[in-house]
Every structure is written in C-alpha cells, then in structure tokens.
C-alpha cells in the first residue's frame, strides 16, 4: 500500500486517537484524552496516512527502566494499532520498522519495551516476554495471615494531592532497587493512578491509604470499591489499583489494612509480581486464585550497550550468537564478560558460540525473569557448548523477579 508514515502534527491529535479507537473498537473519554495529550512527545508519535486519512499509529515514550544493578533509558512503545479497513496490508510492520529505526538513530535508548494486546504480534519484531504478572482474587474471610505477624505503624487515608507526595516518595525508593519498574513524572502519575469515568467497569472513588512507619511513609495502596448489596447484604469488591511497600513489615501491614476494610466480600488485584510474598504470608495461599500471565515485553535495540548497561550476578564469560533479522545491526556473535563487581564488557567476536538465540529470546532473558534453561527446555534456543546454559543463568540471575507496575 502507498502509506506515508510521519510524525504526528499536534493539530491531528484527536484524529489520531479516533483512528486508534477504531483499531481497538473503543475510545478514550475527554478527560483521558487530555491526560494522553500531556504525556505525548509529538516527535515520537508516528501516524500512518492513506492520503489524508490516519489509518494507524505507534507511539514511543521516553522512560527510565530499572534493570539489575542500574537504570537504563528505554523507549516505551504504546498505542500501536491499525484501522480494520487497513489490516493485513503491512501497515503495522511499516510502523514498527520506522519506530525501531528512529529509536536507534536517536541513540539514547538501547531498549524498547511494550505491553502486547495479543502475544503473537511482537515476537516477529524481536520483542520477548521479560516479566510476568499475576492476578489475584480472594474472599475477605480467607485472608488470615500465617502465625507470627504483628502490626506496626499506622495507616492514614489521604486526599489525592497530599497522597501523591507521600506515595511517589515510597515508589521512587522502591523503584531504585527494583527490577522492571519505570520512573514516573507527575503526568504519568495522573494517568496511571486516577479516577475512572462513571460507568466504567472499575469506576468509583479512588482511596489513598498510606502506611507510616518510624521514619515516615513506607507503603501505600490506591484502591476503589465496587458496590454490590444483594438482599441488603454487603457483597462489595475492593479493587487494588496499586500497592507498593518499602519493607516486608510495611508490605504486610498494608495488605492487612486492605484485607480488613469493612463491608467488603472480595479483594481483587490484576497486576502483582510473580514472586509476590503474599503466597507465603497467607494461611491459605490457594485462596488467592493466583493466575499468571505475560507482562512486559522487551527488545534489545543496541545490543552491546544494553548488555553492558545492567549488572551480572557472577564473574563469567559467554559467547552469544544472536540472530536478529528485523534489526540486522544487532546480528552477530558477541563476547560478554562480566567482572567481580558485576560490570561487563560486550564486543563482537569470531570465537565459537556458547549459546545461539534470537533477539526475541535475548529480550526475554535480559531482566533475569526468564532463564536460559527455561527457553532451552521449550526449544527456543541452542546450547552450543555443554554447561553454557547453567553459566548463563548464574550470570543473568536477578532478585527480585522483574515486575513493572506501570501499564502504558
């Protein structure tokens, strides 16, 4: 097709989102559209034009991603869609081609990250599942903690403005030592933690609970309550938008508060870490009904920079043979050598490979949430030298498991 892909003129912002609304068979409220406008970097908003009609788009956002041992600039890919009238004609591929080329030419971000509406779309562009997320749903009367817990500190309910000051300080402390978390500007806070328009499934007033320990705020929960009173009996569902804590004690205290809110029959949360301590805190962990699903997808854009930007758990050496047909500049054989302090160097080599893999698998293992041996057992990569997979897993190991609290 004769499709022209170019940066969006700010005057066409509403038309751009109308095209995305058609692509996803939905749309944004006027309030949500204004929040999106505030975070838009228009030189990174790509629109696909068929004549004067916008038929698709793709957006990149400038993020800072916490990785094992450091913080790395990352391009957050979002709002990728094509109108139903123009699908299966290569528009999405052309958008991804232009976007990844732009990210590379910009030279600031060795990584690209995204959430996929469908899991089979992005592996062909070199994105691999790098984090997992869990959903939980538990009856309030089944939330008893295992013996040994005792409460500490106090919890206060705050209005939005003072709450954002407290919770952003907690989030930033946790982010800096986390894995997979993103820095947030005030505009991103307003987009992620916000009131929902009345009538949406998760609409309802948002409450901000802040836990205070000896040194001040150290945990928070943002939640809303969906009301249901069958036969005048409270059957309400408390839905946790986000719960973050700076210590194990504060984490337990914050969940205890959430579990003990009156007139609630069930507590739900749909984005929790795969290694959530709740599994070990409850007497009946099966009552969480925990379901695991794919989370953040990651793509290495600049391979040497990406591999030297993170830290490694052991001093080791690997030779990786990487196939990357969509971004040929990454393709080749690389020696990755880590030092005792966790830093590493990465350079092209002609030495025999230890492991053969594609850019998709490299994206999956990058944060340490997916193991080389896991992918080998799934037939996704090749061990060229005996023992290389064990060495690679020891090298890329990370704790905690990667988790991204942002949806974008």
Sign, Cα dihedral of 259, 263, 266, 267 = negative
Supply 169's token pair.
Answer: 């300080």
Which residue from 64, 152, 57, 181 is spatially nearest to 111, judged by alpha carbons? 64
φ, ψ for residue 39, nearest 5 deg: -95, -5
Active site residue 122: yes
Q: How many CB atoms lie within 10 A of CB 358?
A: 21
Sign, Cα dihedral of 82, 86, 88, 91 = negative
Marked catalytic residue, from 16, 49, 115, 122 = 122
User: Given the structure tokens 């830093």, which residue do they identify?
Assistant: 343
According to DSSP, the residues that pair with 70 across neighbouring strands are: 67
Are 75 and 301 a contacting pair, CB within 8 Å? yes
- How many whole angstroms separate alpha carbon 84 and alpha carbon 397? 42
Supply 354's token pair.
Answer: 């230890």
Residue 9 DSSP one-character state: P
Residue 213 DSSP one-character state: E
User: Given the structure tokens 């944004």, which residue do they identify?
Assistant: 28
Active site residue 257: no
Alpha helices in 310-383 (DSSP H): 359-365, 372-377
Three-class SS string for 370-393?
CCHHHHHHCCCCEECCCCHHHHHH
Active site residues: 122, 408
């Amino acid at each position: 097709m004769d499709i022209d892909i170019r940066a969006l003129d700010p005057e066409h912002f509403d038309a751009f989102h109308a095209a995305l609304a058609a692509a996803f068979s939905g749309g944004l409220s006027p309030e949500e559209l204004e929040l999106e406008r505030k975070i838009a970097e228009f030189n990174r908003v790509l629109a696909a034009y068929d004549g004067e009609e916008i038929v698709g788009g793709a957006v990149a956002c400038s993020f800072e991603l916490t990785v094992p041992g450091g913080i790395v600039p990352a391009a957050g890919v979002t709002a990728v869609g094509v109108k139903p009238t123009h699908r299966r004609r290569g528009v999405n591929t052309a958008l991804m081609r232009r976007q990844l080329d732009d990210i590379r030419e910009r030279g600031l971000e060795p990584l690209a990250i995204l959430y996929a509406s469908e899991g089979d779309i992005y592996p062909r562009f070199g994105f691999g599942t790098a984090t997992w997320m869990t959903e939980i749903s538990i009856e309030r009367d089944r939330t008893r903690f295992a013996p040994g817990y005792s409460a500490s500190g106090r919890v206060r309910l705050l209005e939005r403005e003072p709450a954002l000051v407290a919770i952003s300080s907690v989030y930033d402390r946790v982010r800096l030592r986390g894995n997979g978390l993103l820095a947030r500007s005030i505009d991103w806070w307003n987009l992620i933690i916000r009131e929902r328009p009345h009538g949406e499934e998760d609409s309802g007033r948002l409450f901000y609970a802040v836990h205070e320990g000896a040194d001040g705020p150290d945990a928070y929960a943002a939640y809303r309550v969906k009301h249901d009173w069958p036969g005048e009996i409270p059957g309400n569902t408390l839905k946790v938008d986000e719960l973050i804590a700076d210590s194990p004690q504060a984490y337990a205290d914050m969940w205890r508060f959430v579990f003990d809110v009156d007139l609630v029959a069930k507590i739900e949360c749909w984005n929790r870490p795969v290694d959530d301590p709740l599994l070990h805190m409850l007497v009946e962990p099966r009552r969480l009904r925990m379901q695991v699903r794919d989370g953040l997808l990651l793509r290495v854009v600049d391979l040497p920079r990406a591999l030297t930007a993170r830290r490694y758990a052991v001093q080791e050496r690997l030779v990786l043979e990487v196939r990357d047909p969509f971004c040929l500049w990454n393709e080749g054989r690389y020696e990755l050598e880590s030092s005792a302090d966790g830093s590493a160097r990465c350079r092209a080599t002609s030495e025999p490979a230890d492991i053969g893999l594609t850019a998709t698998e490299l994206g999956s293992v990058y944060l340490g949430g997916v193991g080389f041996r896991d992918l080998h057992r799934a037939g996704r990569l090749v061990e060229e030298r005996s023992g290389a997979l064990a060495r690679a897993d020891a090298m890329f190991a990370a704790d905690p498991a990667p988790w991204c609290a942002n949806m974008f």
